[in-house]
Amino acid sequence: MAQSKNLLSPAGLREWWYGQLHQWIPITKYRPYERDAGPHVTPKSQVAAGGGNGRDAPIPPGTLAGGSLPAEEYLSSGEEQVRLMAAELEKAGLEFRDGMRVVEFGCSSGRMTRWLHLLPARAEVYGCDIFAEAVRWARLNLNPSYRFLTTTSNPHLPFEDRSAQLIYAGSVFSHIYELAEAWLLELHRILADDGMAYLTIREKHEFSLFDGKMKDSMIAQWLREDPEARRAADSDFASLELGGFRNPNVFWDLETFREMVQPHLEVRGVVHEAYWGQTAVILARASRS
Ligand SMILES: C[S@@+](CC[C@H](N)C(=O)[O-])C[C@H]1O[C@@H](n2cnc3c(N)ncnc32)[C@H](O)[C@@H]1O
């Protein structure tokens, strides 16, 4: 068992801060409005106004966008990642057709979703997340034909079996640890026979970046300051969770991840640095599943 850290060390302070930050999440995360704040109104005019695509939609406040990306990077990163995803999926053989169902698992306030009009087909788009306030923001500010829904951290999604031609998740499996297999089986359940999933994961490739072009990232700094985390990262791990249960950062050995998805899903492509340092894994139903 990990020893408790000196509270005044950088690692100790970080642990204390995560504790403060996340202790209320089980109570608040499904609620799109402040607790005990009185009646909560969404005016009809706000719903009717709808929103836009790409640069035509407003930028969400940082609290709903998972951090403090500068506005230009918020926009350009989403655009680049969606363009790359579409190109890699076409290369892997996904057929883009009008009316195809696209499900973004863990969409937050739609940093990537807002660029889905760039896909080579007019898709039926669903975005879901456990972060109700971000989901509500996306519903009110992005393309009104897209549907955004709040889901839960239990491995279930409200879609029919084999109904989604494309499922994608940017940096969601990097925060899911003990439920990873169950979530993969749930995504497998809703994946269409001719569909593909595009999931970004943290894997060992990213560690090579932490000593180089990503040396200023939060995790790179953490590894420099925390010898216990450094030793774990340098070990021959199958999977690694840094950060504790409140905010896990999950890393995989790519071969282990591939073995975990079999026999239900097979890997059709691997794209390093598809999502900042994360690797995208392209999956399709295994032939007999
Ligand atoms: C790092 S953020 C990425 C957000 C978005 N995909 C993007 O690329 O901007 C991870 C998101 O996954 C969501 N998430 C984590 N576990 C989830 C789960 N079990 N179901 C749905 N969303 C989840 C979090 O609420 C958060 O919004």
Q: Ligand 1 centroid to 238 CA: how many Å?
A: 23
pLDDT score of 27: 45
Any ligand 1 atom below 6 A from CB of 280: no
Chain centroid, CA 22 distance in Å: 18
pLDDT score of 1: 39
What digits encode the pLDDT tens for the residues 267-282? Answer: 999 999 999 999 999 9
- Lowest pLDDT segment from 20-24, 146-150, 186-190, 202-206: 20-24
CB neighbours of residue 217 within 10 Å: 15
Higher model confidence: residue 39 or residue 4?
39
CA 20/CA 240 separation, integer angstroms: 23
Mutation choice for ligand 1 from 129, 154, 249, CB with most ligand atoms inside 8 A: 129
70 neighbors 168 (Cβ within 8 angstroms):
no
pLDDT score of 73: 96
Q: Ligand 1 centroid to 235 CA: how many Å?
A: 27
Closest by alpha carbon to 249, among 209, 216, 202, 213?
202
As a whole number, the mean pLDDT across the chain is: 89
191 three-class SS: strand
Mutation choice for ligand 1 from 59, 175, 249, CB with most ligand atoms inside 8 A: 175
Percent of the chain at pLDDT exceeding 90: 72
- Average pLDDT of span 56-72: 89
Read off the pLDDT band of 12 (50, 70, 90).
confident
Q: Give the angle subtended at the CA of 234 by the CAs of 231 and 237, to the nearest 5°.
A: 105
Q: Ligand 1 centroid to 159 CA: how many Å?
A: 18
Read off the pLDDT band of 34 (50, 70, 90).
low
Any ligand 1 atom below 6 A from CB of 22: no
Q: Ligand 1 centroid to 66 CA: how many Å?
A: 9
What's 118's DSSP letter? G
Q: Whose CA is nearest to atom 10 of ligand 1?
A: 172
The answer on pLDDT for 78 being more than 90 is: yes
Residue by residue, DSSP assigns 9-32 as SHHHHHHHHHHHHHTTHHHHTT-S
pLDDT score of 260: 95
Chain centroid, CA 28 distance in Å: 19
The answer on pLDDT for 244 being more than 70 is: no
pLDDT score of 3: 47
Any ligand 1 atom below 6 A from CB of 171: yes
Q: Ligand 1 centroid to 199 CA: how many Å?
A: 12
What CATH code is assigned to 67-285? Answer: 3.40.50.150
Q: Whose CA is nearest to atom 24 of ligand 1?
A: 106
Any ligand 1 atom below 6 A from CB of 129: yes
Atom from ligand 1 closest to the CA of residue 179 = 19
Amino acid at 129: D
Any ligand 1 atom below 6 A from CB of 151: yes
What digits encode the pLDDT tens for the residues 171-212? Answer: 999 999 889 999 999 999 999 999 999 999 999 999 999 989
The answer on pLDDT for 245 being more than 60 is: no
pLDDT score of 39: 79
97 neighbors 121 (Cβ within 8 angstroms):
yes
